[in-house]
Amino acid sequence: MADTMAAEATTHSPHAEEHHTSTGISNEKLAMWVFLGSECLLFGGLLSVYMFNKGRIGPTDVGPNDVFDIPFTSVSSFVLLMSSLTMVFAVSAIARGNLRGNRIWLAATAALGAIFVAGQVYEFTAFYSEGLGFTTNLFGSAFYSLTGFHGAHVTIGIIMLMTLFVMSLRGNLPQQRAETVEIIGLYWHFVDIVWIVIFTIVYLFPQ
Amino acid sequence: MATVTHESSDTAPAAGEPASETPPAAHTPDEHASGGDHAHPSDWLYVKVAIALALLTAFEVFTYFETVHGWGDTAIIVMLVAMMLLKFFLVVAFFMHLKFDAPIFWRLFVFGLILAMAVYMVMLTAFRYW
C-alpha cells in the first residue's frame, strides 16, 4: 500500500493536482486570502490612528522630523522588498521539485527578514535615546503601535519560514506540498506590501 | 501508513514525473489552470518586477530629498501615492500571483481592502482629519 501511495504521489505534480473541494479551489489558500483581507482592516486602523495623531504634538515635543533617518529606513525597506523576490524564488524552486533551491531561498528570505527586524530594533533604540518613548506623546504611541505590529508580523513570518526550512531538511516538505510554501509566501508578500504603504505614508510624506 | 518523501531526489524532478522536467520558465504567464491551480510566471519575470520595485523605491526616496528644493507638498504626495499604488499592484499581481490565480482570491482581497479604506475614511472624516 505504501508503494502504491508513493507511486501515486510521485505521478502528480503540485500544479496538475485538482482540489477536491466544493469550490474547486484550495481551502487553505482561500483561508489565507480571507485572513489577509481581514489584516487590511487591522493595519488600516493602525495607519489611520497614526495619520490622525502624528501632528498632535507640542512645540517642544519630539516629532517625526526630529527622529526619522530616511537613508537608513530606505535601506531596510529595500531589504524587505528584495526578500519578496527571494520568497517567490523559493515558491518557484519547490514547484519544479528543486528542494535544495527551495531551502536556500527560504533561508535567504528569513535572513533578509531578520536584517529588517534588526534594523527596526536599532531604529526604535535610537528613537528612544532621542527622547521618543511609547508614552512620550500621541505621535510616539501611534508610531510604535503601527511599526511594532508590522515588526511582529515580520517576526512571525520569519518563524514560519524557518519552520518550513526545518520541515524541508527533515524531508517533510516534498514537491507535493508546494502550496504550503506558496501560502506562507502570500503572508510574507502581504507583510511587504504593508511596509510599502507604511514607508510612503509614515516616512516619506511631507510632515 | 508510509510517509512519502522525495529527499533522495533533492534537486531532480520526482521519479516518474516527466512533466516536472519542464521548468516553470517554459510556461507562459497567460497559462491558466482550472480551479485554484495556476501557472507560475518565469523567474526572469520576477526579477524584472523586483527591478521595477527597486527603481520606484529609489525614486520615492529621491522625492523626499527633493522636497528641500521647493516642490509643493501636494505634488509630492500625489507622486508618492501613485508610486506606492504601483508597487502595491506589482507585488500583489505578480509575487502573490493574483494576476494568474482564481478570481475569487482577488475579489476577497479587494473586498477587505475597500472595506478597510471605506471604514477609516469615514472615521477620519468623523474626526475632521481632512
CA–CA gap between residue A101 and residue B119 (Å, rounded): 43
CA–CA gap between residue A140 and residue A55 (Å, rounded): 11
Which residues lie below 8 Å from residue A89, measured CB to CB, with a gap of 6+? A101, A105, A108, B43, B46
Q: Which DSSP category does B3 fall into?
A: P
Identify the pLDDT of residue B74.
Answer: 87
CA–CA gap between residue A189 and residue B91 (Å, rounded): 7
B118 touches chain A (CB under 8 A): no
The per-residue pLDDT for range B104-122, each reduced to its tens digit, is: 999 999 999 999 999 999 9
CA–CA gap between residue B6 and residue A10 (Å, rounded): 9
Q: Is the pLDDT of residue B71 over 80?
A: no
Identify the pLDDT of residue B97.
Answer: 94
Identify the pLDDT of residue B39.
Answer: 64
Least Cα separation, residue A97 to chain B (angstroms)? 5
Query: Between these two residues, B91 and A207, which has the higher pLDDT value?
Result: B91
Quick one: fold of A11-204? Answer: Four Helix Bundle (Hemerythrin (Met), subunit A) (1.20.120)
Tell which residue, B91, B87, B61, B86, has the closest CA to residue B76.
B61
Q: Is the pLDDT of residue A14 over 70?
A: no
Identify the pLDDT of residue A104.
Answer: 98
Least Cα separation, residue B75 to chain A (angstroms)? 10
The per-residue pLDDT for range A130-146, each reduced to its tens digit, is: 999 999 999 999 999 99
A180 touches chain B (CB under 8 A): no
For chain A, what are the domain ranges?
11-204
- B8 pLDDT band, cuts 50/70/90, is very low
A70-77's contacts with Cβ under 8 Å and 24+ in sequence apart are: A70/A203, A70/A204, A70/B61, A70/B64, A70/B65, A71/B61, A72/A119, A72/A123, A73/A119, A73/A123, A73/A199, A73/A203, A74/B57, A74/B61, A75/A119, A76/A115, A76/A116, A76/A119, A76/A120, A76/A123, A77/A195, A77/A196, A77/A199, A77/B57
- What does the pLDDT average to over B70-83? 88
- What does the pLDDT average to over A57-65? 88
Q: Which of A28-42, A127-141, A189-203, B12-26 has the lowest mean pLDDT?
A: B12-26
Least Cα separation, residue B113 to chain A (angstroms)? 6
Q: Is the pLDDT of residue B98 over 50?
A: yes
- What does the pLDDT average to over A145-166? 98
- What does the pLDDT average to over B16-25? 39
B28 touches chain A (CB under 8 A): no
Identify the pLDDT of residue A1.
Answer: 41
Length of chain A: 207
Q: Is the pLDDT of residue B69 over 70?
A: no
CA–CA gap between residue B109 and residue B112 (Å, rounded): 5
- What does the pLDDT average to over A156-180? 97
Residue A162 · residue A72 · CB < 8 Å: no
Q: Is the pLDDT of residue B20 over 80?
A: no
Which residues lie below 8 Å from residue A159, measured CB to CB, with a gap of 6+? none
Three-class SS state of B127? coil
Contacts of A71 in chain B (CB under 8 A): 61
For residue A204, give the nearest of B7, B80, B115 by CB distance. B80
For residue B116, give the nearest of A9, A41, A88 by CB distance. A41
Asked if B5 and A25 come within 8 Å (Cβ–Cβ), the reply is: no
For chain B, what are the domain ranges?
40-99, 100-130
- What does the pLDDT average to over A160-168? 98
DSSP bridge pairs for B32: B38
Q: Is the pLDDT of residue B81 over 50?
A: yes
* Phi, psi dihedrals of residue B97, rounded to the nearest 5°: 65, 20
CA–CA gap between residue A85 and residue B44 (Å, rounded): 11
For residue A196, count other CB atoms closer than 10 A to its CB: 25
CA–CA gap between residue B7 and residue A99 (Å, rounded): 8
Contacts of A183 in chain B (CB under 8 A): none
Length of chain B: 130
SS3 string, B38-86, reads: ECCCCHHHHHHHHHHHHHHHHHHHHHHHHHHHCCCHHHHHHHHHHHHHH
53-92 in A: which are within 8 Å (CB) of B? Answer: 70-71, 74, 77-78, 81-82, 84-85, 87-89, 91-92
